[in-house]
Amino acid sequence: MSAGEPEQAVFAALADPTRRALLRSIASGEACTPTELAALLPVSRQAVSKHLALLERAQLVDAERSGREVRFRATPAPLGDAIGWMTAVGAQWDDRLAALGRAVARGHGDAGPA
């Protein structure tokens, strides 16, 4: 199983600790506007906006614009997909390592099927 585009976007978005911190703050309800978020984290408001754009592109947050205010909320569905994908990759390695264990149990000289 290899990562499709949506998973890649989610992984790329979450590869940065600032973006993870932003998402956590938004999801927990601590803050939801770029100004509030910039006050919470040691980064400029401009940097916050850049990071939020990336999170929005990965569909991890949703922006609601009302007048001059932009409020963000977390939309966790793509996170679930990414976790599902990682779980599947892990399950594949479980199967492969189990096959390695069986091959070793059969003994080194024997390359026959299980």
Partner 1 sequence: MDVTREITLPLEPEAAWDAVVDLERWLTEDGALLLEPGAEGELTLRDGETRRATVQDVRPGELLSFWWHAPDALATLVEVRLVGIDDGTRVVVVESGYAGAPVCHADVLAGPGWGPALLRLRGAGELVPA
Q: Using the structure block, give the residue that is written with the tokens 């850049």.
A: 50
Minimum CB distance to partner 1, residue 63 (Å) = 14
42 in contact with partner 1 (CB under 8 A): no
Output 2 or 68, the one with its CB closest to partner 1: 2
DSSP calls for 50-114: HHHHHHHHTTSEEEEEETTEEEEEE--HHHHHHHHHHHHHHHHHHHHHHHHHHHHHH-TT-----
Minimum CB distance to partner 1, residue 73 (Å) = 6
Output 39 or 100, the one with its CB closest to partner 1: 100
76 in contact with partner 1 (CB under 8 A): yes
Paired tokens of 87: 């779980």
57 in contact with partner 1 (CB under 8 A): no
Cβ neighbours around 34 below 10 Å, total:
22
Output 39 or 97, the one with its CB closest to partner 1: 97
